[in-house]
Structure 1
Amino acid sequence: MLESSKIYLDYNATTPVDKRVLDGMLPFFTENFANPHSDHAFGWDAGEALENARMQVGSLINARSSEITFTSGATEAANLALFGYARENISKGKHIISCRTEHKAILETLNALENDGFEIEFAEVNTEGILSLEDLQSLMRPDTIMVVLMLANNETGVIQDIRAISKLVHENASVLMSDITQAVGKMEVDVKSLGIDMAIFSSHKIYGPKGAGALFASSRIALSGYLFGGNQEKRIRPGTVNVPAMVGFGIAAEVAKNELQKTSEEMLALRVYFEEQLEGLEDVQINAKYQNRLPNTISFSVHDIDGDALYRRMNRIAISRGSACTSNTVEASHVLQAMGFREELALATYRLSLGKDTTRQQLNQAFEHIQNAISSIKSTSMV
């Protein structure tokens, strides 16, 4: 638990479990503990709870429950989707298109597919992180079996025009797989309306438990399994399902759907308020300021400063340098590099992400801390 003097502003990395979610999960540890695939009354009850959770998760993104496969998280879901679809459709081609601003869970899986003989190409983004539709179109080929592009970026919050992208992809007889992990719970995500064929997302980004995720695959999509065991999760992901976690995921999804408008409006108001403060500081820039972004995400850079020293000085606020999965390294963010940031500026770029519990008072304190840290570093460098 963070000390009271510290402020958590890293909700894109993970969220606390909502008490309503926790309360709903607890009986499935000690009372309704049966294996959901056991053929008796206890198992039937657990199985019913599991299918109810599947329906709740599907409803959040306008998918049928039969199109939802439970996983341990978005990373596993990405592996199942990418390997499953590529291997199932290898007779149609080996060409896959993606983008270098994707999450490492996607990029590393694509790298593994490349080692298996698939050809991976990357569409370019501009300095704001927006994908070029013209570049994407130029990369499309008759043997392009899949295009893999995230809906909203985890570092900058930039939202891609997935509807236009999916139209282009489908016109070229391919399919679209999208990482919607950061988007769900912060904006409306309708996979049918957006034209997404496969999607991945996680429970712990929407105030559910860690270790729970989902793969959406449209009913017209066939996947090859590469994990072997029982018949669970349509043989795509065999093994005894973590019922308490999936029940929690379901409750979190239902809460997120019901409270989406209120939550997103409140976070957007706070984001605008904080960005106005940041813009008053010398040498600070808001990245992708005029682009369509997630309501809770701020990426800001500080010019002409030692980014590592500043990050250590801002030790009272929990923020991120690059994505959470690479924050223990000192390398410049691959997302920012793809956007054309020079290394010095990329290393002085920070992601601040708001949550349901964020208050204006916390933001005022965070701003004061950031302001003092910048002033301290710059005054020291002038001595």
Structure 2
Amino acid sequence: MQKIYLDYNASTPLAPEVVDAMQPLLNNYYGNPSALHWAGKPVKELLHKARKQVSDLIGSSPCEVTFTSGGSEANNFALKGFYFKNQHKGNHIITSRIEHPAIINPCKFLEKVGARVTYVSVDQYGRVSPEEIERAVTKDTILLTIMHSNNETGTLQPIVEIGEIAKKYGITLHTDASQSVGKVPVDVNNLKVDMLTIAGHKLYAPKGIGALYIRDGVDLEPLIHGAGHEKGLRAGTENTLLAVGLGKACEMASNHMGSTKLKDLTDNFWKQLKDVFGDQVVLNGHPEERLPNTLNVSFVRRIGQDLLDGIPQLAASTGSACHAGSIELSPVLKEMNVPKEIGMGAIRFSLGRYTTEDEIDTVIKGFKEIF
């Protein structure tokens, strides 16, 4: 059977160009980038190049990019590092109810050590209201953290408007852009953000590498204390191998940014689903303001996992879980007030650079056969 991968939001395959860029470091470039001798200097140059490739993609200075082990570490660093360094200014954080666990759980932790966190709601499309965020601001608010795009529905948040609110009240703004970097234009200055999270394995780089953009002047307490690596913000010898992979992936993302191929393929997929299933299939998330590769749909009064089990060659994700015979909707669909008879049939299709029209046609055919 032809295996079809439509779970790019969960993780992407390594781009061949990324593998090629990393290959020399497996054999020839083994020195410590902090060393001043012949073995260290070329590694340091490769690390600097990778940092610039990342910064070029998001419109920042290279010195504002700190490499991490991935998106979760970057989010933890942004929230905990900022809170512990700036809690003397206030203890209030504002976030949304549909954030990734890598935001929600650090917020829950910070509540245990003195932070007060406001979790704002979302509308039926999964978008937060800038007005609700502004109403939540107090004199003690020091940090806003709102994801740029939702990993389940692909819905894009109004980060520019939220950034204007943050600047109005002198509040630091962080956004988790793990899902959107590489898929849509992300410029830290246009978005008006002070910190931004990148996850390598969401844009064809390896797992285990990510980055946190930290605007010059934003002070964080390091999560890892030790020597002065990464401007003293993250101790430990840098993983140049993976950093080079992330850098190459960011360079490639810049080159692909103008293409509408992925959006056209996703739109055609949705059109075919509607043509075949009509009112039996509905879209979850915003119809326009969403990632170009993400299609979260519900097959009404069906169970998403049962449908996927009927097409074992298809890799995709469901929006509900079955526990002891009962269906539990994902927290995101719950917050969007998606009815259970709709939400239980949710499937997230996330397309990628290597998805083909033939694969989409095969998926449509498979659903027609089992429906």
TM-score normalised by structure 2 residue count? 0.95
List aligned pairs for 1:193-342, cutoff 5 A: 193-262=190-259, 265-280=260-275, 281-282=277-278, 283-322=280-319, 331-342=328-339
Question: 3-state SS of the aligned residue for 1:292?
Answer: coil
Whole-angstrom CA distance in 1 between matches of 2:99 and 2:65: 22
List aligned pairs for 1:1-383, cutoff 5 A: 5-262=2-259, 265-280=260-275, 281-282=277-278, 283-322=280-319, 331-373=328-370, 375=371
Distance change >3 Å, CA 289–CA 123, structure 1 → 2? closer
CA contact under 8 A between 1:94 and 1:143: conserved in structure 2?
yes
Deviation at 1:347, TM superposition (A): 2.6
CA contact under 8 A between 2:308 and 2:314: conserved in structure 1?
no
Taking only the aligned residue pairs, the percentage that are identical comes to: 37
Deviation at 1:235, TM superposition (A): 2.2
CA contact under 8 A between 1:316 and 1:369: conserved in structure 2?
no
Whole-angstrom CA distance in 1 between matches of 2:224 and 2:111: 20
- Over residues 25-61 of structure 1, what are the superposed CA-to-partner deviations in whole Å (9 max), with x where a residue is unaligned? 0111110111111221110110111011001101110
Whole-angstrom CA distance in 2 between matches of 1:193 and 1:333: 32
Whole-angstrom CA distance in 2 between matches of 1:208 and 1:173: 35
Question: What 5-or-longer segments of structure 2 have no aligned partner?
Answer: none
Deviation at 1:344, TM superposition (A): 4.2
Aligned residue pair count? 367
Question: 3-state SS of the aligned residue for 1:39?
Answer: coil
- Over residues 247-288 of structure 1, what are the superposed CA-to-partner deviations in whole Å (9 max), with x where a residue is unaligned? 1111111111012112xx001100110101111204110123
Whole-angstrom CA distance in 2 between matches of 1:327 and 1:21: 38
Question: 3-state SS of the aligned residue for 1:79?
Answer: helix
Deviation at 1:306, TM superposition (A): 3.1
Distance change >3 Å, CA 260–CA 353, structure 1 → 2? same
Whole-angstrom CA distance in 2 between matches of 1:322 and 1:104: 15
Whole-angstrom CA distance in 1 between matches of 2:218 and 2:356: 43
Q: Give the AA of the match of 1:201.
A: I
- Over residues 72-121 of structure 1, what are the superposed CA-to-partner deviations in whole Å (9 max), with x where a residue is unaligned? 10100111111010111101111000001111111111111111110111
Q: Give the AA of the match of 1:82.
A: L
Question: What 5-or-longer segments of structure 1 have no aligned partner?
Answer: 376-383
Q: Give the AA of the match of 1:224.
A: E
- Over residues 333-362 of structure 1, what are the superposed CA-to-partner deviations in whole Å (9 max), with x where a residue is unaligned? 111111112344323211101111111110
Whole-angstrom CA distance in 1 between matches of 2:323 and 2:230: 34
CA contact under 8 A between 1:333 and 1:347: conserved in structure 2?
no
- Over residues 225-249 of structure 1, what are the superposed CA-to-partner deviations in whole Å (9 max), with x where a residue is unaligned? 1322111112221111111100111
Q: Give the AA of the match of 2:25.
A: F
Distance change >3 Å, CA 327–CA 110, structure 1 → 2? farther
Question: 3-state SS of the aligned residue for 1:77?
Answer: helix
Q: What CA RMSD, in Å, does the superposition of the two structures yield over aligned residues?
A: 1.8
Question: 3-state SS of the aligned residue for 1:120?
Answer: strand
Question: 3-state SS of the aligned residue for 1:219?
Answer: coil
Deviation at 1:208, TM superposition (A): 1.0
